Amino acid sequence: MTTVGEGSAQVGEAKPRQPYPGLRQRRQAELTEELRATPALTSSHAGAPTAVIDTITGRLGALDADLLAFSLDLHANPELAYAEHHAVAALAALLGEHGHEAETGAYGVPTALKATAGSGGPHVAIVAEYDALPGIGHACGHNIIAASAAGAFLALADLVTTRGGPGGTVTLVGSPAEEGGGGKQLILDAGGFDDVDFALMVHPGNIDVAGSRSLGFRQVAVTYRGIAAHSATGPHWGVNALDAVVTAYNGIAQLRQHILPTDRVHGIITDGGQAPNIVPEQASAVFFVRSLDVATLADLHERVTAILTAAATATGTVADIRWDNAPPYLPLRTNSALEARYAVNLAERRRVLPVSARPVDEVASTDMGNVSLYVPSIHPIIAIAPRGVANHTAEFATYAGEEPGARAVSDGALGLAATVADFLHDETLRADARAEFDREGGRLVLDQALHGGVPTTKKGEQA
């Protein structure tokens, strides 16, 4: 115990005890050995002719310097969700320098972008993200996502407009606000993916995998209202709103014993009252709810709502429960046929592993999940950092602006472009990818997914 001042004391160790000392290092060592023994993905589909892939590779080589400069520009000028004005202008300028007009403010979203090449089907959407994080900039590497997507689009624009090529349409979708703002859901709501047959993007991380799982994500804000009173002279006249928040918090803590190991519910108290001598008239909390499946996400929504409601009943307060002040994020749906083509296309540069190689406890949430339940999609992870370095850290941001990030821009653009070329050229691949998508539940719109998942044939129409 260390004395801090007269009448006060600091109790305990000088710093918090680290949970499970040494376990993280042991797990990383074990996982490294498992990954070495995991075979890289192979594909049973023919894909695009070798000459087409060679042409794409050459085109990307000529674009390397411009793509890297663009990536570093975004890295040096990080912008938060829905404020990515420099990023979207820089992306439009890059496309313009290479002869392609881009629409900014697309889909009714000021910092969204759309550029299209070719015509007719099949129609593929390449997704670019470019928002950053508060305080730590591009610690999720969205500068790399934007640059690799731009490179893939520019390389493919020549392919789909060349006489004798496969035909089809390629659209670059500039998506703002992945970091909590749900920009892709706004684009979905505006019809941006309605006629798309395949959507894809690549995301930086610390492992090379051909696709990714993610946790569906919803947030709920609750405010309890009671009756203020003097805590000493008349507490019996009061109704304590903080008691309701504490009851709700404890109820959710107890719920955690009885949810799936992959589910997450976490929260904070945002308002606990104004002073200890006043019975709090109002108190508030925010909770995040995450799950790997649309059905279990819907179940958690019901269980958390019941706890928040019961806390009001138990304390005599009134609850104002508000779900989703930003669009919910749905779990990613993988597509093994398309993921295998991505892995094969990068086999000479990287050893790309199956989705299962990435531990489930390392996955977070992305609004690309909403797209993946609407059209066949892939969301590969491309390594820019060692296994022990996680996204959303200052160290990861450093890697995103250095040589590993530059290499990921080049490799990511090739992986995306070559996989799109495969899709455009290989009719069997297209059919198998669609069949897999339909087997997994087919097209889901957001409202249906939030209620456990009802397959649809058209937007908003039940199958």
Task: Summarize pLDDT for 272-299 with one digit per residue, the tens.
Answer: 999 999 999 999 999 999 999 999 999 9
Closest among 436, 445, 441, 430 to 374, alpha carbons compared: 445
- pLDDT (average), residues 328-337: 96
In the predicted model, is pLDDT for residue 14 greater than 80? no
Strands (E), 55-188: 103-104, 113-119, 123-129, 168-175
**Top-ranked range on mean pLDDT: pick from 11-20, 190-199, 351-360:** 190-199
Query: Any idea which of 29-33, 218-222, 433-437 has the lowest mean pLDDT?
Result: 29-33
Residue 324 CB coordination number (10 Å): 16
- pLDDT (average), residues 364-379: 97
Kindly state the tokens that stand for 459.
Answer: 């937007």
Please give the span between the terminal C-alpha atoms of the chain, in angstroms, as a whole number: 66
The percent of residues above 70 in pLDDT, for the chain, comes to 95
| Residues 166-207 pLDDT 10s | 999 999 999 999 999 999 999 999 999 999 999 999 999 999
Query: Any idea which of 7-16, 35-44, 438-447 has the lowest mean pLDDT?
Result: 7-16
Length of the chain equals 463
In the predicted model, is pLDDT for residue 7 greater than 60? yes
- Measure the CA–CA gap between 366 and 344, rounded to whole angstroms: 25
In the predicted model, is pLDDT for residue 234 greater than 90? yes
pTM of the model: 0.90
3-state DSSP: the chain helix, strand, coil percent, rounded to 5? 45, 20, 40
Q: Where are the domains of the chain?
A: 50-214+329-462, 216-323
In the predicted model, is pLDDT for residue 408 greater than 80? yes
Residue 358 confidence class, pLDDT cut points 50, 70, 90 = confident
- pLDDT (average), residues 150-156: 98
Q: Are strands 461-462 and 456-458 parallel, antiparallel or unpaired?
A: antiparallel
The answer to whether the CB of 176 falls within 8 A of the CB of 109 is: yes
Kindly state the tokens that stand for 457.
Answer: 């044939």
Residue 39 confidence class, pLDDT cut points 50, 70, 90 = confident
- Measure the CA–CA gap between 363 and 378, rounded to whole angstroms: 15
- pLDDT at position 458 is 45
Query: How far is it between the farthest Cα atoms of the chain?
Result: 87
CATH homologous superfamily for the domain 50-214+329-462:
Zn peptidases (3.40.630.10)
Type of residue at 372: S
CATH number, domain 216-323: 3.30.70.360
Residue 356 confidence class, pLDDT cut points 50, 70, 90 = confident
- pLDDT at position 28 is 80
- pLDDT at position 33 is 82
- Within this chain, domains 50-214+329-462 and 216-323 share the same CATH topology: no
- pLDDT at position 457 is 45
- pLDDT at position 6 is 63
The percent of residues above 90 in pLDDT, for the chain, comes to 82
- pLDDT at position 462 is 42
- pLDDT at position 454 is 54
Residue 359 confidence class, pLDDT cut points 50, 70, 90 = confident
Residue 35 confidence class, pLDDT cut points 50, 70, 90 = confident
Closest among 341, 349, 274, 269 to 311, alpha carbons compared: 269
Strand, helix or coil at 139? coil
The answer to whether the CB of 61 falls within 8 A of the CB of 151 is: no
Name, in order, each residue with C-beta under 8 angstroms of 181's C-beta and a sequence gap of 6 or more. 81, 82, 131, 326, 327
Strand, helix or coil at 165? coil
Name, in order, each residue with C-beta under 8 angstroms of 29's C-beta and a sequence gap of 6 or more. none
- pLDDT at position 255 is 98
Closest among 138, 135, 148 to 78, alpha carbons compared: 138
The answer to whether the CB of 355 falls within 8 A of the CB of 211 is: yes
In this structure, the dihedral spanned by the alpha carbons of residues 396, 214, 116 and 158, taken in order and rounded to 10 degrees, is 70
Closest among 66, 88, 65, 67 to 77, alpha carbons compared: 88
- pLDDT (average), residues 222-231: 98
Kindly state the tokens that stand for 91.
Answer: 């992306």
| Residues 448-457 pLDDT 10s | 888 876 544 4
- pLDDT at position 160 is 93
| Residues 104-141 pLDDT 10s | 999 999 999 999 999 999 999 999 999 999 999 999 99
Closest among 319, 398, 358 to 144, alpha carbons compared: 398
Rounded to the nearest 5 degrees, what angle is found at the Cα of 159, between the Cα atoms of 158 and 164?
Answer: 120
Strands (E), 130-215: 168-175, 198-200, 203-205
- pLDDT at position 37 is 83
- Measure the CA–CA gap between 249 and 268, rounded to whole angstroms: 8
- pLDDT (average), residues 409-427: 98
